[in-house]
Structure 1
Amino acid sequence: MLFFRTLLLLPLVGLIHCEGPRYYSDRQALKLQELPALKVLILRHPLSYSSKTKQISQGIDHDLLADFAKTYGKKVEFKAYRNEDDLIAAYKRGEGHIAAGRFPRAFVETHADVIGPDYESASLSVFCRKRVDAASETDLNNLDIISFERNKNVVSHQELVKSIPTARIQVWLNGSTARAFSEISNSHADCLIANSNEGVFHLKEFSNLEFKFKLKDNFSLNWMIAEQQDFLNPLMRSWFQKASREGRVQKIYEQYRIYSEELSQSDIEIFKLRTKSRLPEYITYFKRAGLKYGLPWQLVAAVCYQESHWDPTARSFTGVKGLMQITQSTAEYLGIEDIHDPEENILGGARYLKKLIQFFPKDISYNDRVILALAAYNIGIGHLQDAFVLSESLGKNPYHWNQLKTILPKLAENEYYKNTKWGHARGSETVEYVERTKAYFHYLASTN
């Protein structure tokens, strides 16, 4: 699995070597400030954009463009589309300033007025059922292959026909990688040609599929900029370099790399089975809790799964009970009368999670407060505050998860915990808890 870990989601940090730190004029910056809001047309795709509540949206393109807007103090409005054709049509009608959809540069060149910065290094790979013997391009002959229209500017249909003349190639004008994988998994086709990162992202959902080989390497993904807003291009390039140097770009990519690294194939298979066998019994309670406390129901469900695997009889060695693994003292604090009642337990756990989110300063982003709240739900607010103090003493930012997660394991080391207020804690388990909960949340959010 090492291949996947090094392949997945590589931002183009350090690859844009010909551009200086600032190469826009004050006039261009002023033109951005004159816009009431930055309008982004974006493709609904788990790695580009998905939204479950007004407070939480996610996706690499969404997070990067939100950071760009924040850097320049601009409000950003996202309008999502379910397929490339509708998005491109809206872009051509001038309905947005930027269009984003994880498009290869060659595809962007055929549609865009102005090409935005290279923001991710990409490749096309071949994914097939495990029993299909395909180690090279010529092995695809006599097989049923699915490809996408958006791939044609990287590897054209004509090139494929010439190189694998006896392959039966279906070119999908629209459609998702997940749906194509489902077709292959169900033996309606043999192999898929897809963006490598997207393929790896979805691969663990299908135990009978695997990566076979790279077909085309080293092309970039780019955004489209409207002709009337060409002043955005130098601003975006300067922002990308600065955000890359400061680690903000890498931080965004880390969130989506976790999905494929933290969970094993077995984890995913068991989770998928339980989304069918156990989730339906409690989904109404998750949605009710999410609505009541302003949380995505998928977040409540992910916490619950990580706590108890949606087993209402679960009880840990420390005495916590029920679906959300709430202690008796916490249950009394939350006003839970029957800790064994699934609905009460879920509502109580959601209320506690909301209180933890509200505990952290509002100048921290909402997504960062959610991550810190997950850590506090597991380790307790006292131990987390110990980790904050330790982080600051070691020159780390306690509110940046990528830094905090390197500090939490030190709470189990005598050298460090002997000077803390709350003493020894199994911080490495908290890191695993947060990462796995995030992974389950991303799975539920991207498939529902």
Structure 2
Amino acid sequence: MYRLFAHLRRHARWYLLLGSVVALTLVPYWQQAYRNPQLERIASRDFLTMVTRNAPTIYYQGRNGPSGFDYELMRRFADYLGVSLAVEVEDNIAAVVRAVTSGKGDIGAAALPLQTAQEDIHYSQPILNLQPLVIYRRGLPPVREIEDLIGKKLGIIHDSGIGELLRQLQQDWPALGWREAAELEVADLLQRVEDGRLDAAVVYRHQFKLNRLFFPGVEDGFPLGEPLSMAWVFDAGQGIGLQREANRFLDEMRRDGVLDALFERYFGHDDYLEYVGARTFIQQANARLEDYADLFRQAARDTGFDWKLLAAVGYQESHWNPTATSPTGVRGLMMLTNPTAKEVGVTNRLDAAQSIDGGARYLRGILDRLPESITGDDRLWMALAAYNVGLGHLYDARRLARQRGKNPDRWTNVREALPLLQKRQWYEQTRHGYARGGEPVIYVRNIRRYYEILDYLERSQRQYYQLEDRPVEISDNLPEDGHFDVVEPVL
């Protein structure tokens, strides 16, 4: 043993050199073991292809470009890989999976449920919990348990994971039947519940929360079963390289709080417009907006705003009443003060055309006067707040936000600072003094919601006319919906 140690000590340099040569020889084999051809192709072409569906919770074209929870998360993953993002849109869940396994795309991301493992696909780690929720038409007897669904026209989306749940429940409730549709989305189900073609539907809770304001005739019933998991889908034939990177990315997003922040952004807002308020707004939009829609569109063309945003401002100001008058003398559809009317050249505040044109130009003037450091939606929300409370008070709130160590160019920070203008210890430090700072916060919040509803109504109307031969009127005798496959009770 002593001779062996002595030999090793005497020739240590040569053994170290030999070990280094062997290690360097093995490096290519180690690299080959961990190398993934799919990742190499993505890197060489410099883009990642996401396969998805067009829906408000997933992916859609918003005012400022592509948006949606799944899209936002996938865009961040593309950034993580150092490539750009391409999007392929399919009509249904099964088509998304087929597109991935056929090589049309790299990842399927479309609110896909993590289901029983299939040989040709791999799943990422769970991204979100998906709680199935029964919803039903307002006016029906309350739906609070599975037994209440017996005999009802119940609709679901095919391949959403909910069908598997219902088939399990059907073993204990053999009288349970339902309808499955592959070509519809959540909003389509809610529309059919509201207009009477369905009595009830099962969707995921976060999907209903996002859409509920647009369908005030739909009630939430009860959670159905245990939550499922949302995941991304990969082609199993491409190895696990991309899947492994996606899981590392999702771990990082969860650890850094980014995943929670994205969920809060898309699904976590309060329902401050209650069903009654949303229903009233939709009714008035259908009854009164058409009288002024062309005026809003013309003002939008002249000032560069979305006409639906201007219409939302008009509703918040006067409920589209051209003769509205406040106790303080503010008048007209856009509720202009006398000084403001003179500033924008309005001679008759009660003339709807002048009021809408003047209000739009006044809002544009505010927007243009804001500091260049305020960008994007933050700039728009602050301009709206200043339309309500005045530019001076908005600047005071920005100073308070900066004083509190917050970025004054972000609306979220200014929104927190505005109510402080009602408190003496704060407004005494400002240039313009006291203001009812809580009002512009509510003002902007409501306009954003009104705008969302109008934008949804416009988009759904376009899609509806593409999907249907004609609009379906609400009736007790609607024809059978041809989009559904019927799953009969097993009695």
Q: Answer whether TM exceeds 0.5 for this pair.
A: yes
Match of 2:185 among 176, 183, 188: 176
Match of 2:113 among 93, 104, 108: 104
Task: Give how far 1:410 is off.
Answer: 0.8
Q: What amino acid sits opposite 1:314 in the alignment?
A: A
User: Any conservation in 1 of the 2:155–2:189 contact (CA below 8 Å)?
Assistant: yes
Q: Find the aligned partners of 1:362 and 1:232 in 2 and give their Cα distance.
A: 40
Equivalent residue, structure 2, for 1:429: 439
Q: Find the aligned partners of 1:385 and 1:33 in 2 and give their Cα distance.
A: 46
Corresponding residue SS for 1:306:
helix
Counting only pairs closer than 5 Å after superposition, residues 295-444 of structure 1 correspond to structure 2 as 295-336=305-346, 338-360=348-370, 366-444=376-454
Corresponding residue SS for 1:45:
coil
User: Any conservation in 1 of the 2:385–2:440 contact (CA below 8 Å)?
Assistant: yes
Moved more, 268-277 or 425-434: 425-434
Match of 1:127 among 119, 122, 135: 135
Moved more, 378-387 or 85-94: 85-94
Corresponding residue SS for 1:278:
helix
Equivalent residue, structure 2, for 1:43: 53
Q: What number of residue pairs does the alignment pair up?
A: 422
Match of 1:269 among 279, 288, 300: 279
Task: Give how far 1:419 is off.
Answer: 0.5
Q: Find the aligned partners of 2:59 and 2:38 in 1 and give their Cα distance.
A: 28
User: Any conservation in 1 of the 2:145–2:222 contact (CA below 8 Å)?
Assistant: yes
Task: Give how far 1:244 is off.
Answer: 5.2
Equivalent residue, structure 2, for 1:164: 173
With the length of structure 2 as denominator, give the TM-score of the two structures. Answer: 0.73
Q: Find the aligned partners of 1:118 and 1:278 in 2 and give their Cα distance.
A: 46
User: Any conservation in 2 of the 1:293–1:350 contact (CA below 8 Å)?
Assistant: yes
Give the % identical residues.
Answer: 27
Distance 1:390 1:149, change over 3 A: same
Distance 1:412 1:363, change over 3 A: closer
Match of 1:61 among 64, 70, 73: 70
Distance 1:243 1:118, change over 3 A: same
Equivalent residue, structure 2, for 1:10: none
Distance 1:314 1:423, change over 3 A: same
Q: Deviations over 1:91-132 (max 9, x none)?
A: 45544444432222228x659855345332221011123533
Equivalent residue, structure 1, for 2:481: none
Task: Give how far 1:79 is off.
Answer: 5.1
Q: What amino acid sits opposite 2:353 in the alignment?
A: E
Q: Find the aligned partners of 2:111 and 2:75 in 1 and give their Cα distance.
A: 15
Q: Find the aligned partners of 2:120 and 2:351 in 1 and give their Cα distance.
A: 56
Task: Give how far 1:416 is off.
Answer: 0.4
Task: Give how far 1:386 is off.
Answer: 1.2
Q: Deviations over 1:218-252 (max 9, x none)?
A: 32223345777976555555555555566554444
Distance 1:63 1:429, change over 3 A: farther
Q: Find the aligned partners of 2:372 and 2:89 in 1 and give their Cα distance.
A: 27
Distance 1:146 1:110, change over 3 A: farther
Q: Find the aligned partners of 1:70 and 1:106 in 2 and give their Cα distance.
A: 28
Distance 1:411 1:350, change over 3 A: same
Q: Find the aligned partners of 2:303 and 2:119 in 1 and give their Cα distance.
A: 43
Equivalent residue, structure 2, for 1:447: 457
Gapped regions of structure 1 (runs ≥ 5): 1-23
Equivalent residue, structure 2, for 1:214: 223
Q: What amino acid sits opposite 2:187 in the alignment?
A: A
Task: Give how far 1:296 is off.
Answer: 2.8
User: Any conservation in 2 of the 1:128–1:210 contact (CA below 8 Å)?
Assistant: yes
Q: What amino acid sits opposite 2:170 in the alignment?
A: V
Distance 1:206 1:155, change over 3 A: same
Task: Give how far 1:286 is off.
Answer: 2.7
Equivalent residue, structure 2, for 1:290: 300
Distance 1:39 1:293, change over 3 A: farther
Distance 1:32 1:92, change over 3 A: closer
Q: Find the aligned partners of 1:321 and 1:175 in 2 and give their Cα distance.
A: 45
Task: Give how far 1:409 is off.
Answer: 0.9
Larger Rg: 2
Gapped regions of structure 2 (runs ≥ 5): 1-33, 459-491
Distance 1:230 1:201, change over 3 A: same
Distance 1:187 1:115, change over 3 A: same
Task: Give how far 1:359 is off.
Answer: 4.5
Task: Give how far 1:362 is off.
Answer: 5.5
Equivalent residue, structure 2, for 1:13: none
